[in-house]
Amino acid sequence: MSVAAKPRTTPRPDRVTVKTALLSVSDKSGLLDFAKGLEQAGVKLLSTGGTAKTLRDSGLTVTDVSDHTGFPEIMDGRVKTLHPKVHGGLLARRDDADHVAAMNTQGIEGIDLLVVNLYPFRETVAKGADYDNCVENIDIGGPAMLRAAAKNHDFVAVLTDPKDYETVLNEIAEGGTTLATRRKLAAKTYAATASYDSAISAWFAKELGETFPETLSVAATKIDTLRYGENPHQQAAVYSDGSGRAGVVTAKQLQGKELSYNNLNDTDAAFELVAEFDDPAVAIIKHANPCGVATGKDMISAYQSALTCDPVSAFGGIIALNRALDGATAEEIIKIFSEVIIAPEVTAEAREILASKKNVRVLETGKLPNPTDPRMTLKTISGGWLLQTADNGHITEDMLKVVTKRAPTKQELRDLLFAFRVCKHVKSNAIVYAKNGKTVGIGAGQMSRIDSSRIAAWKAKEARTEIENSVVASDAFFPFPDGLLAAADAGATAVIQPGGSIKDEDVIAAADERGLAMVLTGMRHFRH
């Protein structure tokens, strides 16, 4: 049953004078300067535990919440702010006669400013703490106070983020916090408590082994507002999920223009692809699809090989490396225009060379993501979401099943595994031709697999790559022999595919007839 609001008889106050503030924080950055500013403005300071000690040790006058309430902290600090003198001071409407009368009768003093950031639950989990320590770092009093103060934002300002300290201090100096600021801070507070609860629910789900909990709670922190989205008429922003996974969200931008929505999406695709390989590898991406991927003895040879697959499409592309970008490779890269370059490290020599192309965005991540780490992917659909475990399947030689009369040679086998890892990152339907550790033809995003085979062969012919005696990878099974035969016609000698079609026997027979070696993975890599 909902509670009806009392009719408002007075206008909402714009400026509210801050007489009393309650401070209780785990993140103490900027705290002392802020508290000193409050004291200089004549604000009475209430505080708890470690925050009170920090303030008092700096020479500030502080009243402990236990002295304010007349009730001691109990149960190892689990109960300290859960008291009517705290919550009444936060929730009382100053323009309501009944509320004011209750305050006077019960000796409740109004609290005009609440400064709280919560127990470090996420940080505790990230450190690998045991179950009991994680539970003890679930804040109870903090969220309760935050929600109370945010609800009563007509009269109370609530702070959860040290970045807002300066704004509030300036307003206090000008006569009091403004309604506009208090509303903004209230909204920010509810987002903070929702995010905090989301982290707790996600942790519980993991502890209970629930991959798909009954209620999905998603929390993310905005990193930046982008100029526009996929197209100029769309708006966009980029958020962090807090996982710290190496990539575009956590990377340091060393130079270049602001990253766009498409830059971020394409760069993510490129970096996740090169992370698949142990040998030095380079991927060149356009519209989230690889137009060239190669491994090599070093970064410059890998880059040069990747470029040969489709040098036309590589213009204006995204370049990802899985090793440090050195000067020699940088010299090669700047010979054509690239939108973004991403690598775990960029040497000083490479930075100096790339500086001559000031518009090129250069990102340094510090490390590579682990492609086999368990994680989730989330996609919007109309009216809802699709949640799934990430495609972290990693096919190795011992997982392959030879189904043709001829087994692949050692070189074919190396190229087959390489091609299938690349294929995992190509939009379906996907066909990848490879030879000697580099792609020589890629067909992506077609409605039929035979069209992908033909397009990949055509692209190879246009680029004049050596598709003869290459191998071919398919992200899903060949439903009919025609796609396989198209690959054979193009010059492929060995095939890797998941298998599982009702026509598998026909496809195998066609491979035998052409003298192809074929292996099945039993694992599909659709990518939409």
Strand partners, 492: 470
Half-sphere exposure of 399 (CA within 13 A, CB side): 13
Residue 122's closest CA among 20, 219, 22?
219
Angle at alpha carbon of residue 389, lines to 387 and 395, rounded to 5°: 150
Q: CB neighbours of 128 closer than 8 A, spacing ≥ 6? A: none
**Which is the catalytic residue, given 28, 151, 257, 357?**
151
Say whether 36 is catalytic.
no
434: tokens are: 């490879």
Other beta carbons within 10 angstroms of residue 91's beta carbon come to 19
Other beta carbons within 10 angstroms of residue 342's beta carbon come to 27
**Which is the catalytic residue, given 36, 287, 394, 503?**
287
Residue 245's closest CA among 90, 377, 397, 424?
377
Strand partners, 246: none
Is residue 25 within 8 A of residue 2, CB to CB? The reply is no
Residue 157's closest CA among 175, 180, 174, 173?
180
Radius of gyration, CA atoms only, the chain: 30
With 0-12 / 13-18 / 19 or more C-beta atoms within 10 angstroms meaning exposed / middle / buried, residue 475 is: buried
Cα distances (angstroms) measured from residue 307 to each of 168, 353, 439, 464: 54, 19, 9, 12
Identify the H or E element spanning 158: strand 157-159
462: helix, strand or coil:
helix
Residue 119's closest CA among 131, 102, 105, 136?
136
Is residue 467 within 8 A of residue 457, CB to CB? The reply is yes
311: helix, strand or coil:
helix
d(CA 216, CA 233): 30
Say whether 287 is catalytic.
yes
440-451 per-residue burial string, b: 16 or more CB within 10 A, e: under 16: bbbbbbbeebbb
Q: What is the 3-state secondary structure (H, E, C) of 416-438?
A: HHHHHHHHCCCCCCCEEEEECCE
Residue 171's closest CA among 44, 10, 55, 43?
43
**What is the rounded (10 degree) CA torsion for 32, 37, 38, 42?**
130
Pairing between strand 338-343 and 289-295? unpaired
Half-sphere exposure of 227 (CA within 13 A, CB side): 9
Catalytic residue list:
151, 287
